[in-house]
Amino acid sequence: MTAKLTLGPVLFNWAPEKWRDFYFGIADEALVDSVCIGEVVCAKRAAFTDPVLPEVIARLEAGGKEIIHSTLALIMNDDEMRRVRAIAAEPGHLVEANDISAVALLRGRPHAIGPFVNVYNEATLAYLARLGATRVSLPGELPAGSLAVLAKSTPVELEVQVFGRLPLALSARCYHARAHNLHKDGCQYVCADDPDGLDVETLDGEPLFVVNGTQTLSYTYCNLVGELEALGAAGIGRFRLSPQDIDMVAVARIFRDVLDGREEPLAGFHRLGGLAGPIPFSNGFYHGGEGVKSLPSPFAND
């Protein structure tokens, strides 16, 4: 079975033109099988991207990409619930539920489960499958042993994030607005000033997290290029790349080359490092340690 690559939704507040052109590039050049679209973090941002969504969808379809419409991960009011209902009612595209209420709306029809829904055991997988889920993107904090157990008896296709900042938490509060002494309702969309997130440092001045509006993510980029073979052997068949403000077409090409055996993982790791620049990599969760850590991969001694 050929391993599949999924590009997750853009989590950051990019200008509509940048957002549109990013997906145009993915449609025309990226070696990915599936592409997630839609606002996941803050419904207020959708007003900027919704007008260009039809042309993005058309371009992705012309590029032969499977389209997945991702829903909000935190629903705060009736307007946001109506938005999720409208997405759930759309025909033609697979919908990815990132909140359990969206799962209820999609019940009885094929759908995907996003990484914001906590899926930690076989019983949860079986329950979601009975409701109609055909694909589950697992939370990024699961270690290798847990992934293998889930893959052993799963009734659905499983996906693991292998690149990009890991989503850690969502809040009703907007951290970006707070950092600028603004209220959430009058945020002035200051999150747009940080297209890859706003760094959060410890008291010792060490970067640890980034904030993205109401969301907290890892400062490091998760990078499991060295673990792809082990993940595949465990039964994981789909791998997710989370968009960052770097050349994601090149990132996708590296992962595709490693998956297809055209490039060694070590060479891919170094190429990814050149793309990521100063942002360090991490794989600690996968190895059962602290998520921020970069622990030895199979090629560590090469």
Cα-to-chain-centroid distance, residue 187: 24
Q: How many domains does the chain have?
A: 1
With 0-12 CB in 10 A as exposed, 13-18 as middle and 19+ as buried, what is 12? Answer: buried
Picking from 65, 34, 31, 35, the residue whose alpha carbon sits closest to that of residue 258 is 31
Classify 70 in phi/psi space as left (phi over 0), alpha (psi -120 to 50) or beta: beta
Give residue 301's pLDDT: 45
- Whether residue 203 is contained in a domain is answered as no
* Angstrom distance (rounded) from CA 198 to CA 193: 9
Give the range of the structural domain holding residue 35, as residue numbers without chain letter. Answer: 4-165+220-282
Maximum Cα interatomic distance, the chain, rounded to a whole number of Å: 55
Give residue 184's pLDDT: 87
Local structure of 287: helix, strand or coil:
coil
Is the Cα torsion angle 134, 250, 60, 42 positive or negative in sign?
Answer: positive
Assign residue 241 the CATH number of its domain.
Answer: 3.20.20.70
Whether residue 112 contacts residue 125, with contact meaning beta carbons closer than 8 Å, is answered with no
Per-residue pLDDT of the chain (302 residues; tens, 9 = 90+): 689 999 999 999 999 999 999 999 999 999 999 999 999 999 999 999 999 999 999 999 999 999 999 999 999 999 999 999 999 998 889 999 999 999 999 999 999 999 999 999 999 999 999 999 999 999 999 999 999 999 998 999 999 999 999 999 999 999 899 999 999 889 999 999 999 999 999 888 889 999 999 999 999 999 999 999 999 999 999 999 999 999 999 999 999 999 999 999 999 999 999 999 999 999 999 999 888 888 777 664 44
- Whether residue 148 is contained in a domain is answered as yes
Picking from 204, 218, 216, the residue whose alpha carbon sits closest to that of residue 276 is 218
Whether residue 115 contacts residue 167, with contact meaning beta carbons closer than 8 Å, is answered with yes
* Angstrom distance (rounded) from CA 274 to CA 246: 10
Which residues are CB-contacts of 89 (< 8 A; sequence separation ≥ 6)?
none
Query: What is the pTM for the complete model shown?
Result: 0.95
- Whether residue 20 is contained in a domain is answered as yes
- Whether residue 214 is contained in a domain is answered as no
Whether residue 198 contacts residue 174, with contact meaning beta carbons closer than 8 Å, is answered with no
Residue type, 39: E
| Whole-number Cα distances in Å, 90 to 59, 94, 221, 266, 268 | 18, 9, 33, 42, 38
* Angstrom distance (rounded) from CA 218 to CA 200: 10
Q: At what angle do helices 248-259 and 16-29 cross, to 10 degrees?
A: 30
Whether residue 6 contacts residue 240, with contact meaning beta carbons closer than 8 Å, is answered with yes
Residue type, 177: A
- Whether residue 84 is contained in a domain is answered as yes
Provide φ and ψ at 103, rounded to 5°.
-60, -45
* Angstrom distance (rounded) from CA 290 to CA 243: 23
* Angstrom distance (rounded) from CA 128 to CA 113: 8
Provide φ and ψ at 268, rounded to 5°.
-65, -40
- Whether residue 196 is contained in a domain is answered as no
- Whether residue 202 is contained in a domain is answered as no
Whether residue 297 contacts residue 226, with contact meaning beta carbons closer than 8 Å, is answered with yes
- Whether residue 201 is contained in a domain is answered as no
Residue with tokens 């008896």: 153
